[in-house]
């Protein structure tokens, strides 16, 4: 039995990176997948590819900060596949601005996409998931929602999403809906990974105890677990997918520095 057999899943930000990996994995596990994004070319191509492989998928243009777009996406999922069981809030933006650099417009757009968007999505999707028999919501936060981060608006939005997840988990428990958050670190083939300089990428990697970036497929496997009945007693959890960065970066860097100083002294 495939792990999402007969389920209907809506995945935002599904045209690239983690979202695309989740969409492909979910479809292979039996789910009918509604892919949404603003990158229509890649989103449509991926949906066609999934269908060509004999699986169920449709693509919709969807700005997650727009309530009208959310209503259309959820109605389309329900109208096309008859239900909605899983919502993955994966879409996000990364402005790469410090608190001093960020304009008010940048701040507002970042929170609109990364925090208000998931809030709208959960509010509108939860009654449909409840009426479909229950299910799961997974919010893709970040290690920036667990630690300090140089991008002020991004960090604020991801810390907010972490708290919002816990509130929703408590609120929706009686509706048989589980809500959890994952917190990826440096993940290959994502906007956050691809948009930094080689120097920044190398510096971040040097802080990861596993000493490598993650892969979208590694995030997708965790999201699948949280979406499936394998995690039936897990709700309100926050799980880091970061190679040990959030738990041990300081200790790791201190050990490396001590070793370098010892070698330099001999």
DSSP H helical segments within the chain, as ranges?
17-28, 40-52, 67-81, 104-111, 117-131, 152-172, 191-194, 198-206, 216-227, 245-265
For residue 196, what is the domain's CATH number? 3.40.50.720
A 10 A CB-CB count for 47 gives: 23
In a domain, 2, yes or no: no
Q: Pick from 59, 55, 23, 7: which is nearest to 216 by CA?
A: 23
Give the pLDDT score at 203.
Answer: 75
In a domain, 131, yes or no: yes
Tokens representing 82?
A: 């008859």
Which residues are designated catalytic?
Answer: 154
In a domain, 183, yes or no: yes
In a domain, 167, yes or no: yes
- The whole domain housing 130 covers 8-200+213-246
What separation in angstroms does the CA of 213 have from each of 123, 155, 190, 201?
A: 34, 20, 11, 9
User: What is the per-residue pLDDT across 15-67, written as a single tens digit (0 to 9) for each?
Assistant: 999 999 999 999 999 999 999 999 999 999 999 999 999 999 999 999 999 99
User: What is the per-residue pLDDT across 109-166, written as a single tens digit (0 to 9) for each?
Assistant: 999 999 999 999 999 999 999 999 999 999 999 999 999 888 999 999 999 999 999 9
**238: helix, coil or strand?**
strand
Is pLDDT of 191 > 80?
no
In a domain, 120, yes or no: yes
In a domain, 259, yes or no: no
In a domain, 116, yes or no: yes
In a domain, 36, yes or no: yes
User: What is the per-residue pLDDT across 59-92, written as a single tens digit (0 to 9) for each?
Assistant: 999 999 999 999 999 999 999 999 999 999 999 9
* Domain count within the chain: 1
């Amino acid at each position: 039995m495939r792990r999402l057999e007969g389920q209907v899943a809506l995945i935002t930000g599904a045209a690239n990176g983690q979202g695309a990996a989740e969409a492909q994995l979910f479809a292979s596990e039996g789910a009918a997948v509604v892919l949404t994004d603003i990158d229509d070319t890649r989103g449509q191509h991926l949906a066609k590819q999934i269908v060509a492989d004999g699986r169920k998928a449709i693509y919709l243009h969807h700005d997650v900060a727009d309530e009208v777009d959310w209503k259309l996406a959820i109605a389309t999922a329900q109208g096309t596949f008859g239900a909605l069981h899983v919502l993955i809030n994966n879409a996000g933006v990364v402005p790469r601005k410090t608190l001093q650099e960020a304009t008010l417009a940048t701040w507002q757009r970042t929170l609109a996409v990364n925090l208000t968007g998931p809030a709208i999505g959960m509010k509108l999707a939860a009654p449909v998931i409840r009426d479909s028999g229950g299910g799961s919501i997974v919010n893709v936060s970040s290690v920036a929602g667990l630690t300090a981060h140089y991008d002020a608006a991004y960090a604020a939005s991801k810390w907010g999403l972490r708290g919002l997840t816990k509130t929703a988990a408590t609120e929706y428990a009686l509706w048989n809906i589980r809500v959890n958050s994952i917190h990826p670190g440096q993940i290959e083939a994502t906007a956050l990974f691809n948009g930094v300089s080689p120097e920044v990428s190398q510096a971040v990697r040097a802080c990861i105890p596993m000493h490598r970036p993650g892969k979208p497929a590694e995030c997708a496997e965790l999201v699948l677990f949280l979406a499936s009945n394998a995690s039936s007693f897990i709700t309100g959890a926050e799980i880091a997918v970061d190679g040990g960065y959030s738990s041990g970066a300081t200790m790791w860097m201190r050990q490396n520095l001590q070793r370098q100083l010892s070698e330099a002294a001999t």
